[in-house]
Structure 1
Amino acid sequence: MPDSRPQDAHRNFEDAFNSGDIEALFALYAVDARLVSDSGRVVIGHDAIREELVGLFAIKGRMTVQTLSAVQAGDIAMLRAEWRLDGLGPDDQPVAVSGKTSEVVLRQPDGQWLYLIDNPHGSE
């Protein structure tokens, strides 16, 4: 069943990542979405976002996402969250990364909320 609350995008991201389903993760982004990389560069579209996020899957671990706020105006919402990823890197050494996000999500005709702008460190 499609999501009805903007903050469900956070749960969906967490679930897709933790299940290891990279295709489900990329399906959470609108076709013309923007993602702010760790370096601050803005990447546009599914192919560029895939390239940027695929490194997350190199960390074998578990992500948690906690929504801090959700402000909705019609079919658009601004979200903020805290996230943390704990796991093992490609060298099997412990890795812990975290951030505070700022995102814009867009409600689709089927009710699902997709990321339009995703800035994983936008609230820091």
Structure 2
Amino acid sequence: MPKAYKITDPSQTNATFAKIFNEGRNVDAWVSLYEPDAVLFDGPNPVIGHEAIRKSLAGLTNVPGAIETKVNFVGVNGDIALVRADYRFRHEGKITLTGSAIEVARRQPDGNWLFIIDHATGASVPSAWEAESGKA
């Protein structure tokens, strides 16, 4: 059974994901941050539900180093939150990967916030006009 992570503030969703990465990369703990029918964008194609998310996140267990995150903004409307967070992976003193995630979380009846949509690179993708013109 993974350690239970309770997120009482949606601005902590990305940081909690990073904490799990830095504490040992427990895939079950990551999956526990998602609603059962959540959507995770794995590259251009989304995966839906805990089993598909588990398979998708398993690849992160092999990524070396640590991850750092910073929240760019959080917008809350009732029980729904939109979060944009920037992150970077650091290994042996060097930044190996950076990105900007866009996530939607929902407050659960117990006050815990869980992902309903997670796009790890959603805020990093080029604009549709750049992609269309080949400048991306």
State the TM-score bracket (shorter-chain normalisation). 0.7 to 0.9
1:71 aligns with 2:83: no
SS of 1:121's equivalent in the other structure is coil
- Larger relative contact order (Cα-Cα within 8 Å, sequence gap ≥ 6): 1
Task: State TM-score, norm by structure 1.
Answer: 0.87
Cα shift at 1:22? 2.1
Question: Is the Cα–Cα contact under 8 Å of residues 59 and 95 in structure 1 kept in the other structure?
Answer: no
Alignment gaps of 5+ in structure 2: 125-136
How many residues get paired? 118
| Contact persistence 2:20–2:30 (CA under 8 A) | yes
What's the Cα RMSD here? 1.8
TM-score, normalising length: structure 2: 0.79
**2-structure distance, mates of 1:109, 1:61:** 35
Runs of 4+ in structure 1 off by over 6 angstroms are none
Contact 1:101 1:121 in 2 (8 A): yes
1:13 aligns with 2:47: no
Q: Equivalent residue for 1:35?
A: 40
Query: What is the distance in 1 between the residues matched to 2:8 and 2:73?
Result: 16
Deviation at 1:96? 1.4
Contact residue 2 and residue 110 of structure 1 kept, 8 A: no
**Percent pairwise identity:** 36
The aligned residue for residue 108 of structure 1 is 108
Higher fraction of strand: 1
The Cα of 1:3 is off from its aligned counterpart by: 3.1
Larger Rg: 2
